[in-house]
Each structure stands twice: as structure tokens, then as C-alpha cells.
Amino acid sequence: MDEPSARPAWYAVARSGRAGRAGHPGRVGPSGAAGDWVTVLHLPYTAWHLGYVLVGAGLAAHLSVERLVATLVAFLLAVGVAAHALDELHGRPLGTRIPAGALTAVAVASLGGAVALGVVGIARVGAALVAFMAVGAVLVLAYNLELAGGRLHNDSTFALAWGSFPVLTAYYAQTGTLSAAAVLAAAYAYGLSRAQRHLSSEARQVRRRVATIDGRKTYTDGTTEPITRETILGPIERALAALSWSTCAIGIALVVR
């Protein structure tokens, strides 16, 4: 019989005194409040998301480094910081001890900074950038706060918002238009983000909701192997880590080509 996991996510920084999802004592860690902030940033997933920005910008025939940096910073603020802070504020899925006021202030300031960068870019990119800014802000708020009864908090919205949208926005920020290549790349990001969602949802459920795991696999040659939390989570989370860095790698490759 397997014990419940002490960490709510594979990238979470262990903290002394944090209780597990089933009341299991938390693992001792040196992190404290700083570690909670690192955990809230969901660093592997934030990097993955920014990898899509690199893919979209890298498809442009002529790359503006200035526009790329601005787009990366805007998405880092809007998603890496604001969206994840709002997500933790809504239900504490990571079990951090960050005060609600601090999460709210950081989310508002970060989303405001992302919008401000967009406003500066309107004169250089085009008025249609306003539509991208509006859609992005709505997605951050509606998805992470589960507004409208959580109707947008689903696999399809996640894949569109955190996969397709950054590809299209980054390409538009470079070119002032969209193309068939950008749309196809957005479809690629959508599919990969759906895969991420399926894998991460299962991992979260096992870590946060499953109290015990008991069983074994029997192979055709008669040998057996116990089914444990590690045998379930290990392949899923190693796949998520590999997909995260490989998405960043293909994005960088497109930018530096």
C-alpha cells in the first residue's frame, strides 16, 4: 500500500510543516516563503508556455529582437506570474502559505504590466493588437478564477489559451498579420497543450487526491511488479519535463536559425 505524496506537484519546492493532501506530514525543506513563490510560478510549465512564444516569433521572415523580448516579458507577467497567482488564490491547489493579499497584488501588478507593454506595442504593431490584449486578459481571469461557473476551465480552453494563443500573438507581434504557417503552428501548440493537460491532470489527481495505491502488474512470463505512486507518476512526470524543455529547444532553434 503506497503512502500519499507530500508535494502537490513534481516541481513544487518542499517546505517544512506543509501537510500533504491526505493529512500526511510534509517533507522538511529549506524553502520557506521564497520556496512557495517559486512553486507558484510553475517554472517548467511557464518555460513551456514561453517556448510557444519563441515558436510564433521564430516563424516570422524577419525577427525583431525588441518585439520578441517585449512579447516574452508580457507573457511571463500575464501567465507565468498573474495567471498562476490567481490560480493559487482560487482554491490553493499548491497549498502555499502566501497571503491572499500578496497573491492579488502580484496578479494585478503583473497583468497590468503585460497590458502596459501591449499598449506601447500598438503604435508599432497595429491596432489589432488591442484584440489580442483583450483576449489574453479575459483568458487569464476567466480560466484561472473559473468565472462563468468554470465554463472556460477545461482542456480545450487550456490548449487554446496557453498553447495556440501565444504562438499567434507572438507571430502577429512580429509581422502585424497572420499566415497559414502561424495557424498550423498554433494547431501544433494546441495538440501539445492538450497532451500536457491530459498528463498533468492525471499527475495532479494522483498527488493531491489519491490517498493510497495498492496492486501489482503480472507479466506474460509470470513475473510481477508492484504498482506504486512512483510507477504511476514517474513516467508521466518525466514525460512532462521532457516536453517542457524540448518545446523551449525548438522555439530557440526557430529564433536563432
pLDDT of residue 22: 36
Mean pLDDT of 27-40: 72
Q: What's residue 28's pLDDT?
A: 36
Sequence letter at residue 213: I
- What is the mean predicted confidence (pLDDT) over 67-93? 97
Q: Write down the residue that cell numbers 478564477 correspond to.
A: 145
pLDDT in tens, 178-188: 999 999 999 99
DSSP state of 150: G
Residue 165 has pLDDT above 70, yes or no: yes
Predicted confidence at residue 121, as pLDDT, reads: 96
Work out the percent of the chain whose per-residue pLDDT is above 70.
91
How far apart (Å, rounded) are the C-alpha atoms in residues 141 and 86?
A: 8
Residues 83/143, Cβ–Cβ less than 8 Å: yes
Is-above-0.85 flag for pTM? yes
**Residue-level pLDDT at 33:** 85
Instruction: Say if residue 1's pLDDT is above 80.
Output: no
What is the Cα–Cα distance from 64 to 52, expressed in whole angstroms? 16
Query: What's the pLDDT at 36?
Result: 94
Using alpha carbons only, what angle is made at residue 118 by residues 115 and 119, rounded to the nearest 5 degrees? 90
The confidence score (pLDDT) of residue 4 equals 58
pLDDT band for position 16 (cuts 50, 70, 90): low
User: Model confidence over 189-215: pLDDT tens digits?
Assistant: 999 999 999 999 999 999 999 999 999
Mean pLDDT across 47-72: 98
pLDDT tens across 98-143, in order? 999 999 999 999 999 999 999 999 999 999 999 999 999 999 999 9
- Strand, helix or coil for residue 26: coil
pLDDT at 21 over 50: no
Q: Identify the pLDDT of residue 14.
A: 81
For 203, the grid coordinates are 499527475
Q: What is the mean pLDDT of the chain?
A: 92
Q: Return the C-alpha cell found at 44.
A: 517548467
